[in-house]
Amino acid sequence: MIRVLIADDEVMIRSALAALLAMEEDIEVVAECTDGEAAVAEALRVKPDVCLLDLEMPGLDGVEVAERLRRVLPTRCVVVTRHARPGVLRRALASGVAGFLPKSRGADEVAAVIRRVASGARYVDPEVAADALSDRRSPLTDRELDVLRAGRRGETTGQIARTLSLAPGTVRNHVSAILAKLAVRTRQQATLMAEEQGWL
């Protein structure tokens, strides 16, 4: 029996998927969670074989949950998302996610992916994989990406400077370069673009 934890903040989707997976003879849904923090806590408690994680959840997203669990449990993680952006796929794979698929897939396909991942294999949706191969690389330097990471929760220039041990003027210079390269007006827009492309 494959023991599965499902984490999705959309109650209807989570409940429907849990009900459909429960009809599979070899799959048991052992926990349902509404956000990333709850998913980590429940996974540590019930130790599922596979965690099915929504990418877009409050607090920790599905990739962040997978990254945390990888350090402490042998559980395998599958990330599902409504917006299967290529950059997110790269971030997911770098975090040790074993499966990645869009929410548009049917329950039978999800069950098949769960079985595959539980057996030790990996699965990436073919369309997402094809998009990822054609996706562009980051034009930002490592230090510019560090600046965006350090400020992704809205930190001030001074806070970013302290975090990275830089002068505030240096941080402002990096931000100016980032905005020019990405052709956006604000640091928040730059951060959103970098996250969507999977550069962060």
State pLDDT tens for residues 33-60: 999 999 999 999 999 999 999 998 988 9
What is the CATH number that goes with domain 2-134? 3.40.50.2300
This prediction has a pTM of 0.70
Q: Kindly report, residue by residue over 146-166, the tens digit of the pLDDT.
A: 999 999 989 999 999 999 999
The average pLDDT across 65-78 equals 95
Domain residue ranges of the chain, discontinuous segments joined by +: 2-134, 142-196
DSSP secondary structure letters along 27-79: EEEEEEESSHHHHHHHHHHH--SEEEEESS-SSS-HHHHHHHHHHH---EEEE
On whether the CB atoms of residues 30 and 88 are closer than 8 A, the answer is no
The pLDDT-based confidence of 132 (bands split at 50, 70, 90) is low
62, two tokens: 């599905």
Confidence at residue 129, expressed as pLDDT on a 0 to 100 scale: 79
- In CATH terms, 142-196 corresponds, of 1.10.10.10, 1.20.1240.10, 1.10.287.610, 3.40.50.1820, to 1.10.10.10
**What pLDDT does 93 receive?**
84
